[in-house]
Amino acid sequence: MASADDTEGTLTPVDFIQLQHYMEESSLRVKDVIKEFHPGGRYAKHTSGECLHLEGFCLFLKTYLEVESFPPNFCQKLFNYFQQAELDGSPKRSTPHGGGVFLRDVSCYFSVLEEGQPREKLEFTFKLYDKDGNGLLDSSEVDRIIAQMMRAADYLGWDVTELRPVLKDMMTAIDVDDSGTVNLEEWVKGGMNNVPLLVLLGLRMTEKDGQHIWRLKHFNKPTYCGVCENMLLGLGKQGLYCNCCAYTVHNQCANKNPEPCARTFVKTKEEIGKATHDWIRADCNASKCQVCFKKIKTLAGKHCVWCQEMRHDECVVPGVPKCDCGDLKDHILPPWVIYPVSKEEDTNLLSVTPDGHILQIAPILDTHPLLVFVNPKSGGKQGERVLRKFQGLLNPRQVYNLSNGGPIRGLHFFRNLRQFKILVCGGDGTVGWLLDAIDKMNISVHPPVAVLPLGTGNDMARCLRWGGGYEGSDLKEVLKEVKDSRQIPLDRWSIKVTPKNPQDAGDPVPYEIMNNYFSIGVDASIAHRFHSMREKHPQKFNSRMKNKLMYFEYATSESFSSSCKNLKDCLSITCCGKPLNLCNSLEGIAVLNIPSMHGGSNLWGESKKTDGAPEAVHSEVITDHELLKTATQDISDKRLEVVGLEGVLEMGQIYTGLKSAGHRLAQTSEITISTAKALPMQIDGEPWMQPPCEIKITHKSQAAMLVAAPTKPSSFFQFK
């Protein structure tokens, strides 16, 4: 954040980093947001001519960065920056009339930050520092950069004593012609070769295969530098660590030609299928060499990034034995099955690396390569950590960040494999997103999907035995569970809401497909309030436990309106053409596909044992009271369970586990609900208010899911 000694109107590296953090959290693209400020857009009235005034600019930031409030002084600083900057390099123009900023400047600036390669971003930073705008950095400006970078480093938790000499050296080295000043070209060239600087600026350097994916890491045990072979010392014991191959170096040693990172694909077709180890220098820490069986001294050996085998330098001989990819062999997509093809062979161009290779996968026998999708925005910082760890455990080319273009690229890359599995890391919404994408993809085999639940709720993950939320356990164990999991079909339902009065459509319906549950009335009403409160006060809802307590508070609060009383009078239900009898006390209806709701509550409840008597016959619809007692839930039976809810108090009791279930009304293969007044509704946890309408839920398809092997007796749900 801006500190007191900043000169007004300048952006500091800390500001720059902060802005990038904000952008990483946001899912919007600047070009879509800017559209709303152009004539005909939602916010067109905030624009005057081609300009934005301060107020409009703040609105833009809030919208674009998806935050409720953006620090006003930061907003003012950015605004001042845009007023002063000559972003397109043209000679100084007159500032917009009345002191606004140009829309196109704002648009250009943020699109470079979104899409820019390190080179473009470095050009940007140069312009930030070149205060007098003469195209040269003089010694005072260079000193200023160093001071500012120190602050930025400090902000990121770097040990600045180690960084100062690196930056000093760099600035000297950059001035190639010894002129005492640095021009743009010198700056960009020097910057591109300065790894700590690039990491500091948050620039990813994954242009070429063989480049490490660096990140700053603090080590809590003695660790050695792969370049100078000295220990990482100092307060923080920090250095740069490669996410992919675990190679570790001092900040200052990252510039001294470290060994390259492991290859992630082969360059020629001849290498396809040739399983060779990829040896990377490693801190072997007295492990045994698997060739001569003697201990390996620190840094006297290497490890293979695929099979994790360790050897002495002198025991690394090419050829036999082949790399078998070790414990994770069933999941790893090894480099020798990935190869570049020509533009004619893949016209979709969805699997292009930043340095221009179009990659394809050769068929592999007897393994199930895992395609991993991570939603880094799920579960606080947990998502990012999971993403990093999987990049190290597997081939980074099989691990996809969902905020980077969604699931399409990954699915396209794997499309020709006959056998593969998917692991999706995120909340239930992320799972639904992926299932939709698979449906829309034209792939020959629909891969089965396992879930690593991040964040709270996660009803889908719960009933597939993946748990309610990942808490940081060893991801190798998670991969083992995926390997031992079993495939099961999951029903998916299409839900069609037709308003009775087309002019009165109300809020948009959140989804057209239901994976988990749908409800009307009391449950949805609580969810609606809960949802809007959570948007307003996220800090109150930052843990699963708190979520449950808050839910209980809403469910039982006196002020809770009785809008759902006498639900019977304003709604009618038919199941497969059969009208349901509803009782007077009813205040809510829930339609269930899976046996978990709002983070683990089960509204259907345990079923009575049938004592050897045949189970309720599989029929399209069951409404008989006695038969319903023995009817069990099954996520693959193409049937839904319909439950009646009596009121706020009962809901509170169910959510907090004081009561086990609602009232069973029906088990059915389709349902039509007609409402006569506006009522709160929700699909898969997304609530909205819906004016009078007809809702029809019918079976859509089945998705292939993976269910984890039982570890402890399941409390409420048994798979056949």
Binding stretches for Zn ion (CB under 5 A): 212, 225, 227-228, 242, 244-245, 247, 250, 253, 261, 277, 289, 291-292, 304, 306-307, 312, 315, 323
Q: Choose between 33 and 244: whose C-beta lies nearer to Zn ion.
A: 244
Q: Choose between 291 and 299: whose C-beta lies nearer to Zn ion.
A: 291
DSSP-derived secondary structure letter, 505: -
Q: Choose between 49 and 234: whose C-beta lies nearer to Zn ion.
A: 234
> Residue 657 and residue 30: Cα distance in Å, rounded?
45
Q: Among positive and negative, which fits the CA dihedral 552, 525, 534, 374?
A: positive
DSSP-derived secondary structure letter, 262: P
Q: Are 592 and 683 in contact (CB under 8 A)?
A: no
Task: Please provide the size of the chain in residues.
Answer: 720
Cis upstream peptide for 321 (omega within 30°): yes
Q: Choose between 353 and 660: whose C-beta lies nearer to Zn ion.
A: 353
Cα dihedral value 689, 691, 697, 701, nearest 10: -60
Instruction: Label the pairing between strands 182-183 and 136-137.
Output: antiparallel
Q: Choose between 34 and 253: whose C-beta lies nearer to Zn ion.
A: 253
**Residue written as tokens 């996968």?**
361
Q: Choose between 250 and 397: whose C-beta lies nearer to Zn ion.
A: 250
**Residue written as tokens 């190869």?**
339
Amino acid letter, residue 341? V
Report in angstroms how near the CB of residue 219 gets to Zn ion at its nearest.
Answer: 13
Report in angstroms how near the CB of residue 230 gets to Zn ion at its nearest.
Answer: 6
Q: Choose between 240 and 591: whose C-beta lies nearer to Zn ion.
A: 240
Give SS3 for 399: strand
Q: From its phi and psi, is residue 521 left (phi > 0), alpha (psi between -120 and 50) or beta?
A: left
Q: Which alpha helices (DSSP H) does 193-320 contain, by range?
A: 195-200
Q: Among positive and negative, which fits the CA dihedral 478, 479, 483, 487?
A: positive
Strands (E), 208-309: 214-218, 238-242, 248-249, 279-282, 301-304
Instruction: Label the pairing between strands 51-52 and 101-102.
Output: antiparallel
Q: Choose between 200 and 449: whose C-beta lies nearer to Zn ion.
A: 200
Q: Choose between 227 and 423: whose C-beta lies nearer to Zn ion.
A: 227
Q: Choose between 52 and 305: whose C-beta lies nearer to Zn ion.
A: 305
First to last CA, the chain: 56
Pick the closest to residue 657 from 581, 568, 552, 547 (CA basis): 552
Beta-carbon count within 10 A of 280 CB: 20
